[in-house]
Structures are given as C-alpha cells and as structure tokens.
Amino acid sequence: MYIQETIKTKYPPGDLALWIFICAELLVFGVFFAAYAFARANNIELFNQYQATLNTDLALINTIALLTSSYFVVSAIIAIKENQQQKSSRFLLLAILGGITFLIFKMTEYSHHMSEGINLTTNLFYMFYLSLTFFHFMHVILGIMILLVLWINTRKGTYTTEEHNGLVSGGAYWHMVDMVWLILFPLIYIMR
Amino acid sequence: MEKSYRINNIIFTTLILLTLFTWLLGQVDIVGDITKKIDGKIFFLILLTIAVIKVQLIGDFFMHLNSVKGFWRWIITLWVILTGSFIAIAFLL
C-alpha cells in the first residue's frame, strides 16, 4: 500500500470534474480577497478602526474547528484504505461536528453584529467582512451536507479499500473550504 | 498506514501551532506604541507567509497533491502565490 501511495499520478485524487469546480471556487475567492485588499488600500484608517471591533478569539476557535475537521476527514480516508468502515464513519462524524462548531461560533459573531445594528450598508469594511465571511459560511454549509452524505455512505459500506473515490472527492472539497478560511482569517481579522 | 496517521498528526500539529502564532501576532497592538518597535510591513509579511505555508500544507498533505506530477501538482501553489501577490501589492504599495 505504501509503494502504491508513493507512485506519482498525473491527476489529483478524486473526480477531476470536482477539482475543476474547486479551481473555479478558489478563483472566485481569490478575486474577492484581492478586492478586499485593494479596497483597504484606499481606506486604511477605516479598515483598521473597524477590524479592531472583530473578535479574533472566536476566529481562532473557528480556525481550529475547521483544521480539526479537515484532520478527521484525512483520518477517515486512511481508515477506509485499511477497510475499517466503522472507524472511518466515526472520523467523518467528528469532522461534521467540527463544521457545526464553526457554524455555531460564526452565528454567534453575526448575532452580536446584528444586535449592534451592523449590516452590509454600515461601511465599506463591514460590507466586505459580512459578504466575504457569509459567502464562506454558505460553503461550510454545503461542505457539511457533503460530509453527511459521505458519512451515510460509509455507514452503508459503500466505500471499500479499492473504491473510495467519492470519499476522496468530498474530502477535497472540504479541504478547499478550510484552505479559503486559512487566508480569510489573517486577511480580515489580523492583517493591518 | 501507521506512517500515514503519523504524517497526518505532524501536519495537523504544525497547522495548529502556526494558527496560534498567527493569533498571537494579532494580539500585538501594531497601531499603538509597539509600532515603533515592529515594522508593520514585516508584521504583514510574516502573517502572509504563514498563511501561504498553511495552504500549501493542506494542499500537499491533506489533498495529497504531493503524490501528483505535472500541472495539477502546482494548482494550489499557483493559486496561493497569485492571491498572496495581489494581497501583498495592495498592502505594501
């Protein structure tokens, strides 16, 4: 098995169509990140002032939640390669819980902002902050739905040591969601 | 397979440590007095470099792009360098 893993392949693991979709998603997020950075360049004082109102502790918890969730997805794939379906489904359940933790803390942040009367029209910083994070939030929801399907399939024994392409593809999407947050977190919450 | 779990654990621990370091840097009051001691551009470049390294680790080890050759091997690297470059231009120029 180890020898098989060290052989380099021409295409990434999982469905190639999904990888093309991942590339399109990354491109969109990349454009949004650049737009945020250039908008900030023209309004540095405004962005620094309102960035200071964000809760970096909650953002840290959310980053750890997503990273932990991704870790469990990788563990689930390793387990299925060992033909351990039960172990794999447990890891996937933990990954889903990581995603739900992210949603809960993000909603806590949103409700705090809403209670202060903050919305998309408050100022340019909040327009970018709310739209970028909510766009990502929607991707987390889609990612959790994909993980749920993978979890159900794993419990039904759909994936085996030989055939687990669906699990690898779904996992790649979840890692993309995680990856985008790894740029979003320092860009919006920390960099000034 | 034990080796796969071990690599997974090492990468995860590295990602968590880098995240904690990013958060710690966020606690530094760069706009206040400490600004005089720390150059804001260096502070920004450290944060950006950490973010790029984290994305690359996810791509290489969680998405297993380190076992791919050719164009797809570098797809995440290409994205993070392009995105990082635009962010750097906007922040530094």
Structure ipTM: 0.92
Q: Where are the domains of chain A?
A: 56-190
pLDDT band at B30 (very low <50, low <70, confident <90, very high): low
Cα-flanking dihedrals φ and ψ of residue A52, to 5°?
A: -65, -20
Long-range pairs for A40-46 at CB < 8 Å and ≥24 separation?
Answer: A40/A125, A40/B90, A40/B91, A41/B90, A41/B91, A41/B93, A43/A124, A43/A125, A46/A123, A46/A124, A46/A125
Q: Does A3 touch chain B (CB under 8 A)?
A: no
Report the gap between the CA of A161 and the closest CA in chain B (Å). Answer: 12
Best probe of the B interface among A36, A74, A161, A173, by most B CBs < 10 A, is: A74
d(CA A29, CA A180): 7
pLDDT at B33: 52
Stretch A157-180: mean pLDDT, rounded?
Answer: 96
What residues have CB less than 8 Å from A152, skipping those under 6 apart?
Answer: none
What value does the mean pLDDT of chain A take?
95
Domain range for B36 is 2-92
CA proximity to B51, closest of B86, B15, B10, B89: B15
What value does the CA radius of gyration of chain B take, rounded to a whole number of Å? 16
Q: Which residue has the higher pLDDT, B91 or B3?
A: B91
pLDDT at B93: 84
Residues in chain B with CB shorter than 8 Å from the CB of A37 are 86-87, 89-91
State the Cα angle at A171 between A167 and A173, rounded to 5°.
Answer: 125
Nearest by CB to B22, which of A7, A30, A186? A186
d(CA B20, CA A69): 17
pLDDT band at B34 (very low <50, low <70, confident <90, very high): low
What value does the mean pLDDT of chain B take?
90
What value does the CA radius of gyration of chain A take, rounded to a whole number of Å? 19
pLDDT band at B4 (very low <50, low <70, confident <90, very high): confident
Are the CB atoms for B42 and A159 separated by under 8 Å? no
- The verdict on domain A56-190 having CATH code 1.20.120.80 is yes
pLDDT at B40: 80
**Token reading at A132:** 């970028």
Whether the pLDDT of residue A1 is over 70: the answer is no
Whether the pLDDT of residue A39 is over 50: the answer is yes
d(CA A137, CA A155): 27
Stretch B7-25: mean pLDDT, rounded?
Answer: 96
pLDDT at A6: 63
Residue B68's SS3 state is strand
Lowest-confidence segment of A39-43, A74-78, A137-141, B31-35 by average pLDDT = B31-35
d(CA A17, CA A11): 11
d(CA B22, CA A172): 24
Residues in chain A with CB shorter than 8 Å from the CB of B91 are 37, 40-41, 191
Whether the pLDDT of residue A58 is over 60: the answer is yes
pLDDT at B41: 86
> Tell me, what DSSP letter sits at residue A186?
I
d(CA A67, CA A60): 11
pLDDT at B38: 62
Residue written as tokens 């990612």?
A: A143
pLDDT at A5: 53
pLDDT band at A2 (very low <50, low <70, confident <90, very high): very low
Cα-flanking dihedrals φ and ψ of residue B39, to 5°?
A: -70, 125
Give percent above pLDDT 70 in chain B: 88
Report the gap between the CA of A13 and the closest CA in chain B (Å). Answer: 7
Q: Which residue has the higher pLDDT, B37 or A32?
A: A32
Domain count, chain B: 1
pLDDT at A146: 98
CA proximity to A154, closest of A96, A98, A101: A96
Residue A191's SS3 state is coil
Report the gap between the CA of B37 and the closest CA in chain A (Å). Answer: 16
Report the gap between the CA of B22 and the closest CA in chain A (Å). Answer: 7
Residue-wise pLDDT tens digits, A135-163: 999 999 999 999 999 999 999 999 999 99
Q: How many CB atoms lie within 10 A of CB A66?
A: 29
Taking an 8 Å cut-off on Cβ atoms, the answer to whether A9 and B68 are in contact is: yes
Q: Which of residues 9-38 of A touch B (CB under 8 A)?
A: 9-13, 19, 23, 26-27, 29-30, 33-34, 37-38
pLDDT band at A8 (very low <50, low <70, confident <90, very high): confident
Side-chain-facing half-sphere of A9: CA atoms under 13 Å: 11
